[in-house]
Structure 1
Amino acid sequence: MTTTPRTAIVTGAARGIGAATALRLAADGHAVAVIDLDEEACAATVDQITAAGGRAIAVGVDVSQADQVEAGVARIADELGAPTILVNNAGIIRDNLLFKMTQDDWDAVMNVHLRGAFLMTKAVQAHMTAEKFGRIVNLSSTSALGNRGQANYSAAKAGMQGFTKTLAIELGKFGVTANAIAPGFIQTDMTAATAERVGVSFEDFLAHAAKAIPVQRVGQPEDIAATVSFLTSDEAGFVSGQVIYVAGGPKD
């Protein structure tokens, strides 16, 4: 696969899917800005990249705050070069049934997922259009199809798909592609938190989930990172506006 070294930004990259994606993009030869709410929490990801001979910096940004996003992107451009790869991965869950869900639960999820992706993309697209090259990958979820106890998260992840398709239409003429990845069940801290919420052990939760997946296993963060690697490559220039379900089987 052909990959020209570029500057990549991965949000929510202190752990889980974000960390695996940052490591994979660094292995692909890109300089990587590791963004998370807590800059110190990014240290482990950055250390792994630099220990392997890559270039990376940790950047503390609340992606829902425009001033922090603009300052963070400016710092990245100054220290690593113009960012032309953006992976909008930052996300939180505030699960509850609708009648128990608070306005704060709703707003918090919308602000991180949708507002965060909007602000990050708006800040980075200026560098992409100037360079006449860009790769945007937004993290959606199979929950976009609906999931009990996740009215906020499902709505946000469905919104990411519409956002992605619109970006593809608007930015295509500048050499920028935009795609979404919708993971199925991935073994992360977030799914561990879900197991705790429903009151079962994580091991039982994983085993039960695997039985319902055609490939008979749960996903790993590296499964998503591999898909990001392709979508951000030079050779993926004719793939845009797509939602790719990485879920171990088909989804409706």
Structure 2
Amino acid sequence: MNILITGGSTGLGKALVERCAADASHNIIFTYCRHEADAQALADSYMNVKAVQVDFCNEASVNQFVENLEAESIDVLINNAYAGNPQGTHFFKTDPEAFSESFRCNVMPLIKISQACIAGMRKRKFGKIINIITSYVMDVPPTGFSVYTATKAYIRQLSKSMSKELGRFNITSNCILPDYMQTDFGQVEDFQLEQMKNAHPLKELLKPQEVAEVVCQLLNTTQQLNGVEIPINAAQHMF
């Protein structure tokens, strides 16, 4: 299958690329913004992987990427990228512009890229869309994550609309809701990490590779699995 992974150079994105690329029958394209050396090293490690630089906060960059997507015949879209720092300050201290900027840099690119992929999926009567959300949308988010969780909640609702509208075209849209992972994305202080580990049922934090394993299971599952949300948080948050 032809798989597009947004935000694939580091963290969970890198784990997703590596896990999907392990199957030689897949062709993977992943986007990155910064970390050019990391992206190129990852692409050089696999014959079936291609890296494309896209700045989600630059409309021209996104539009150029979208124009070229039709030729790629994407079968699976994994919406993983997030532009910006997930952790900010208290809601009442947050500049309202931060919400509109996050929408511009995260929601609008996702909409454009998803629509471009869906156009081809509808023609071929097959497609899978997997949206990486966060387990924070299931409960009260930590202080300082209002922009991040609001953005992810919007994408979560979009995923529901896509699953409802596209099922008749044999296209699925599902969500993965992972808990906090210790990566360069959303770093916290050492004492906070220790507190989270001690409070965790398994006494260890979720690893990107564990999330990537769950995501890749969706690649081969039946199209009957549509519109679902899969939490990965050791039952710390439940619906």
TM-score calculated relative to the size of structure 1 = 0.84
Residue 146 of structure 2 is aligned to residue 146 of structure 1 = no
Match of 1:164 in 2: 159
Question: Is this contact kept in 2: 1:177–1:241, CA < 8 A?
Answer: yes
Residue 33 of structure 2 is aligned to residue 47 of structure 1 = no
CA distance in 1, matches of 2:203, 2:186: 17
1:179-218 paired onto structure 2 within 5 Å: 179-192=174-187, 195=188, 200-201=189-190, 204-218=191-205
Match of 2:29 in 1: 33
> By how many angstroms is 1:77 displaced?
5.0
Question: Which digits, 9 at most, give the CA deviation of each residue in 1:136-157, with x for residues without a partner?
Answer: 0111102223322111111111
Question: Is this contact kept in 1: 2:134–2:179, CA < 8 A?
Answer: yes
Amino acid at match of 1:170: E
Distance 1:30 1:66, change over 3 A: farther
> By how many angstroms is 1:107 displaced?
2.3
Question: Which digits, 9 at most, give the CA deviation of each residue in 1:52-105, with x for residues without a partner?
Answer: xx3111111123555433432444554xx4111111111132511112211332
DSSP 3-state at the match of 1:232: coil
CA distance in 1, matches of 2:118, 2:35: 23
Question: Which digits, 9 at most, give the CA deviation of each residue in 1:13-38, with x for residues without a partner?
Answer: 11000111011111133111110123
Match of 1:83 in 2: 74
CA distance in 2, matches of 1:165, 1:55: 31
Match of 1:178 in 2: 173
Structure 2 gaps, min length 5: none
DSSP 3-state at the match of 2:186: helix
Amino acid at match of 1:239: L
Question: Is this contact kept in 1: 2:31–2:54, CA < 8 A?
Answer: yes
Match of 1:224 in 2: 211
Q: CA RMSD in A?
A: 2.0
Match of 1:3 in 2: none
> By how many angstroms is 1:123 displaced?
1.3
CA distance in 1, matches of 2:156, 2:108: 14
Question: Is this contact kept in 2: 1:136–1:232, CA < 8 A?
Answer: no
Amino acid at match of 1:185: Y
Amino acid at match of 1:45: L
Comparing 173-182 with 242-251, which one deviates more in the overlay?
A: 242-251
Question: Is this contact kept in 1: 2:6–2:32, CA < 8 A?
Answer: yes
| Percent identity of paired positions between Structure 1 and Structure 2 | 26
CA distance in 2, matches of 1:146, 1:178: 25
> By how many angstroms is 1:250 displaced?
4.3
Q: How many residues align?
A: 232
DSSP 3-state at the match of 1:191: coil
Question: Which digits, 9 at most, give the CA deviation of each residue in 1:109-148, with x for residues without a partner?
Answer: 2223322221210111111111211110111102223322
Question: Is this contact kept in 2: 1:8–1:86, CA < 8 A?
Answer: yes
Q: State which of 212, 235, 238 in structure 2 corresponds to 1:249.
A: 235
Structure 1 gaps, min length 5: 1-5
Question: Is this contact kept in 2: 1:43–1:58, CA < 8 A?
Answer: yes
